[in-house]
């Protein structure tokens, strides 16, 4: 069979598949709501909050809180972030600045050694922490935009923190990257490691 004949058959198949797709419309409308997050547990918790009568802002509170539990390496509650909000009923748009701030006693050279070189204090240990912005943002979202009380929207995160969530490949990779730092402090080793080593897949992290 020649190349031209192969191309002719390929084009016929493409036309057939295209016609079949056009002749098979969706049997149900797309969902009215959609949630995307960095972790399936956070996404599921946000969807459940919508089913409980919450709005998109309630779901945002829930997703943020759950991510703080299951992704402490990326979305910890001790950090900050930004929320771009849109309220459909009155076309209200707002950007919520929840970025963390430097402590009042911070100075511009607090992370420099006597030679003026950067130390690891800006990345590791207690001096690297800022004043968290996320907790205040969750309260603001709930009070000004949400329908449900924080007791309800934070419940999924509290449950996962107490009962635990299963370790997966990504958690193991991130814990491995910061293993020496996690091992340095007994409090972090006890919570985020197993026998002072990276936990195996399926191990429950309880906080």
- The model's confidence at residue 29, banded by pLDDT at 50, 70 and 90, is low
Question: Which of helix, strand or coil describes residue 88?
Answer: helix
Shared domain for 179 and 94, answered yes or no, is no
Q: Does a structural domain hold residue 51? A: yes
Residue-range definition of the domain harbouring residue 178: 165-207
Res 4 pLDDT > 70: no
Same domain, 157 and 92: yes
Asked, for residue 119, whether it belongs to a domain, the answer is: no
Closest CA to 205 of 107, 71, 80, 99: 71
Looking at the chain, the whole-number percentage of residues with pLDDT higher than 90 is: 63
Residue 159 lies in a domain: yes
- If asked whether residues 203 and 136 sit together in one domain, one would say no
**Residue 182 and residue 159 in one domain:** no
The DSSP symbol for 189 reads H
Q: Is residue 61 part of a domain?
A: yes
Domain count, the chain: 2
Q: Which of 28-32, 94-98, 116-120, 168-172 has the lowest mean pLDDT?
A: 28-32
Euclidean distance between CA atoms 60 and 52, whole angstroms:
14
Instruction: Note if the pTM is more than 0.85.
Output: no
Structure token pair of residue 125: 């240990």
Read out DSSP for 37-65?
-SSHHHHHHHHHHHHTT--HHHHHHHHHH
Residues 159 and 87 in one domain: yes
Q: Which residues contact 203 (CB under 8 A, 6 or more apart)?
A: 166, 167, 194
Are the C-beta atoms of 57 and 141 separated by less than 8 Å?
yes
The reported pLDDT for the residue numbered 127 is: 83
Give residue-wise pLDDT tens across range 74-88. 888 888 889 999 988
Q: What is the pLDDT of residues 120-168, one digit of tens each?
A: 888 888 888 889 999 999 999 999 999 999 999 999 999 999 999 999 9
Q: Is residue 98 part of a domain?
A: yes
Residue 79 confidence (pLDDT): 83
Are 77 and 148 in the same domain? yes
- 80 and 141 assigned to the same domain: yes
Reduce the DSSP state of residue 69 to 3 states and report it: helix
């Amino acid at each position: 069979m020649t190349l031209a004949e192969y191309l002719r058959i390929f084009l016929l198949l493409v036309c057939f598949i295209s016609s079949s797709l056009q002749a098979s419309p969706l049997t149900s409308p797309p969902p009215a709501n959609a949630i995307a997050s960095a972790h399936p547990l956070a996404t599921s918790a946000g969807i459940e909050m919508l089913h409980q009568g919450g709005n998109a802002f309630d779901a945002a509170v829930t997703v943020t809180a759950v991510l703080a539990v299951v992704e402490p390496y990326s979305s910890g509650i001790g950090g900050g972030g930004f929320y771009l909000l849109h309220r459909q009923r009155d076309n209200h748009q707002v950007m919520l600045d929840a970025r963390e701030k430097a402590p009042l006693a911070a100075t511009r050279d607090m992370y420099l050694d006597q030679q003026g070189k950067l130390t690891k204090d800006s990345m590791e240990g207690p001096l690297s922490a800022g004043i968290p912005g996320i907790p205040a943002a969750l309260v603001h979202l709930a009070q000004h935009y949400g329908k449900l009380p924080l007791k309800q929207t934070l419940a999924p995160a509290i449950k996962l923190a107490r009962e635990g969530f299963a370790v997966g490949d990504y958690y193991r990779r991130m814990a491995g990257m910061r293993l020496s730092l996690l091992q340095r402090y007994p409090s972090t080793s006890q919570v985020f490691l197993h026998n002072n080593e990276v936990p195996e897949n399926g191990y429950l992290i309880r906080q």
